[in-house]
């Protein structure tokens, strides 16, 4: 993440008593390398302020960085994020717009710009920018989720009031509050699949496994082609030792979305739990071939290498 623009002019004026002359001295010119170092320090300071929710101070630091790197799209995006967190959506729109102007391939900024219009209730405009983001990076999950939610609202399939409760629940740290808010969202829109999914996950971590399974099955009844729900249900069934059912759900998730890495990993774990090491090795080798640098894949290679007799180099 990075900064924004702010220009300060410093004039160094020296007065000497008894003299009629005014002397002015200019600061020495900085090299490009020196400018980059100064800018990076401002950017880093801004990130520190942002992470501690001191958004105005973060903006100030990023603005100073832009004095040295005025074409850095990432810094404009950072400032947009800080204005969003401050509740100043118009200012956020301005800076996200500058970010995509500086870098038209900046798909995260296009998504952020769309989300600001979404929050303002301008769903048609929001959809346009989510589509731009996905045109650049079709695999960008956040823009895909935002686009789908926007379409549901425009098509009358999702009530805005239910979505607002859902978003509020996501931001809560308390499982009890999350459960309450997801249930309220579902009382407004009983067809809200993501709310059923998240309620199920919250129930699981709250220790109410039966309720979790009920909610996830309810979600699949509403939408049997939801890969995340299949993955989550598979994970819970695995913890109960119901391995065959878990495997079935993971494979369904992968059939629906082959590039979805989490069910790949969970499937391997379940085969290991089942002591079906041949199948675990087969799937681990397959995912190693597809995404060898994925952190979760590397973790499983490290963990299961000896058990599965992998030829590690």
Q: How confident is the model at residue 3 (pLDDT cuts 50, 70, 90)?
A: very low
- pLDDT of 28 reads 60
For the chain, give every domain's residue range.
1-86
**Does residue 273 surpass a pLDDT of 70?**
yes
User: H helices of the chain, where?
Assistant: 32-51, 55-66, 73-85, 89-102, 107-119, 123-136, 141-154, 160-170, 175-188, 193-205, 209-222, 227-239, 243-256, 261-273, 277-290, 295-304
> In which residue are the tokens 């300071």 written?
45
- Cβ pair 56, 24 in contact under 8 A: no
- pLDDT of 20 reads 36
**Per this entry, what is the length of the chain?**
313
Please state the rounded mean pLDDT for residues 165-194.
94
Q: What is the pLDDT of residues 136-168, one digit of tens each?
A: 999 898 999 899 999 999 999 889 999 999 999
The strand pairing partners of 14, in sequence order, are: 23
Q: Is domain 1-86 annotated with CATH 1.25.40? A: yes
- pLDDT of 33 reads 80
Q: What is the pLDDT of residues 10-26, one digit of tens each?
A: 232 222 333 334 334 45
Q: What is the pLDDT of residues 229-271, one digit of tens each?
A: 999 999 999 999 999 999 999 999 999 999 899 999 999 999 9
CA 53 to chain centre: 18
Q: Is the pTM of this model over 0.75?
A: no
């Amino acid at each position: 993440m990075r900064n924004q623009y702010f220009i300060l002019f410093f004039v160094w004026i020296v007065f000497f008593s008894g003299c009629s002359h005014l002397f002015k001295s200019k600061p020495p010119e900085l090299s490009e390398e020196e400018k980059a170092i100064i800018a990076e320090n401002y950017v880093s300071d801004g990130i520190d302020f942002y992470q501690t929710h001191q958004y105005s101070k973060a903006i100030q630091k990023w603005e100073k960085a832009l004095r040295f790197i005025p074409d850095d799209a990432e810094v404009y995006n950072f400032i947009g994020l800080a204005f969003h967190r401050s509740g100043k959506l118009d200012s956020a729109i301005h800076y996200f717009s500058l970010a995509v102007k500086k870098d038209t391939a900046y798909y995260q900024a296009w998504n952020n710009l769309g989300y600001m219009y979404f929050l303002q209730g301008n769903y048609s405009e929001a959809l346009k920018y989510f589509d731009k983001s996905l045109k650049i990076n079709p695999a960008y999950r956040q823009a895909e989720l935002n686009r789908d939610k926007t379409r549901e609202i425009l098509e009358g399939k999702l009530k805005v009031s239910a979505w607002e409760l859902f978003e509020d629940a996501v931001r809560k740290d308390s499982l009890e509050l999350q459960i309450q808010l997801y249930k309220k969202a579902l009382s407004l829109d009983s067809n809200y699949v993501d709310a059923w999914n998240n309620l199920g996950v919250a129930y699981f971590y709250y220790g109410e496994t039966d309720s979790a399974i009920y909610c996830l099955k309810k979600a699949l009844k509403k939408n049997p082609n939801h890969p995340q729900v299949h993955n989550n249900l598979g994970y819970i069934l695995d913890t109960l030792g119901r391995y065959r059912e878990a495997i079935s759900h993971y494979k369904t998730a992968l059939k629906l979305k082959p590039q979805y890495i989490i069910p790949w990993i969970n499937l391997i774990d379940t085969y290991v739990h089942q002591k079906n090491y041949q199948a675990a090795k087969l799937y681990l080798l397959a995912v190693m071939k597809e995404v060898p640098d994925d952190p979760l894949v590397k973790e499983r290679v490290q963990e299961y290498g000896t058990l599965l007799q992998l030829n590690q180099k």
